[in-house]
Amino acid sequence: MDFIDYYEILNLHHTADENEIKTAYRQLAKTTHPDKNQENNQATQNFQKLNEAYSTLSDTRKRRVYDLKYEQQTGSYAPRFSSIHRTNTSTNENTASNPGFSDTHFEVPLQNDPQEKLLLKIWEADGFIEQFKSCVKSTEKKVKRQRRMVEEKKEVLRIFEEEVSSAEVEFKRKYEYGAGPSNLEHTREYRLFRMQMDYKTRIEAELKEEEEKLGPLERQLQEFSSRLSYWEKKRDSFDRN
């Protein structure tokens, strides 16, 4: 999964505070809403990314996890909110000569800090959860489509079996004991009956083929769902720590 710079999307520095994030989001939401950019094919996708950025950076826990990845990807230090300490010299970091590191500064957490290790585990778990959610969603669509295909084949076969059964009964009734119309008519109707039987056999083969495709897809969905459940439980255990 490619890294997305949420700070860049919101046009913010990575030391932005909660109010700056909220203000930036509101301003951008007004100008990037799909209803105001109907000629832009990427408008919906861009607006979705904007919402994802705000959802992540406005949530303290999500931002702490995201900032670890941000630091790894960009090499820029993103302050951990669990270990932020501000001096009393200034209440506004923008008044300092070097915002974020002067009169108002962030204290960098110690290396190999247990909290940092936990955040890395959370970030890893979140990555797997997102990955397997995507796998489950896409596989569910495939399974649903394949199940519909199987049901359609079953319905066609059911209807055709009724028609063939009726045709067989009628054929026997007309030609039992050599009775019925001429041999020519008998031959013609028998040929039609055999064509129906052959078509029924073909439908049965197609149904079997579709059912064989469905099996592996259902097993794959079960596997992805199981892995997703594993990482969600693991993620919950991290939250309790």
pLDDT in tens, 185-228: 666 767 777 787 888 888 999 999 999 999 999 999 999 999 99
Structure tokens at 148: 């519909």
Output the pLDDT for position 207.
92
pLDDT tens for 35-51 read 888 888 888 889 999 99
Which of 43, 60, 78 marks a domain boundary? 78
Confidence label for 139 from pLDDT (cuts 50, 70 and 90): very high
Output the pLDDT for position 114.
75
Tell me whether residue 113 is in a domain. Answer: no
CA distance 145 to 174: 44
Domain span including residue 170: 131-240
Q: Taking residues 108-125, what's their average pLDDT?
A: 69
Same domain, 74 and 137: no
pTM for this predicted structure: 0.50
Inter-residue contact 32 to 50 (CB < 8 Å)? yes
Output the pLDDT for position 70.
81
**Higher local confidence (pLDDT), 150 or 165:** 150
CA distance 216 to 70: 38
Output the pLDDT for position 109.
46
Nearest to 197 by CA among 161, 150, 233, 238: 161
- Residue 189's SS3 state is helix
Per the DSSP assignment, residues forming a β-bridge with 145 are none
CA distance 151 to 122: 42
What are the E-state strand segments in 104-165?
none
Q: Return the minimum-mean-pLDDT range out of 52-66, 144-158, 161-175.
A: 161-175
Q: Taking residues 81-90, what's their average pLDDT?
A: 37
28 sits in the region (left: phi over 0; alpha: psi -120 to 50; else beta) called alpha
Structure tokens at 62: 């999500």
Q: Sign of torsion, CA 51 76 15 236?
A: positive
CATH code for the domain of 52: 1.10.287.110
CA distance 147 to 56: 37
Mean pLDDT of the chain, nearest integer: 78
CATH code for the domain of 143: 1.10.287
Same domain, 38 and 139: no
CA distance 19 to 182: 94
What are the E-state strand segments in the chain?
none
Tell me whether residue 88 is in a domain. Answer: no
Same domain, 157 and 230: yes
CA distance 160 to 195: 12
Tell me whether residue 229 is in a domain. Answer: yes
Which of 78, 94, 114 marks a domain boundary? 78
CA distance 108 to 194: 83
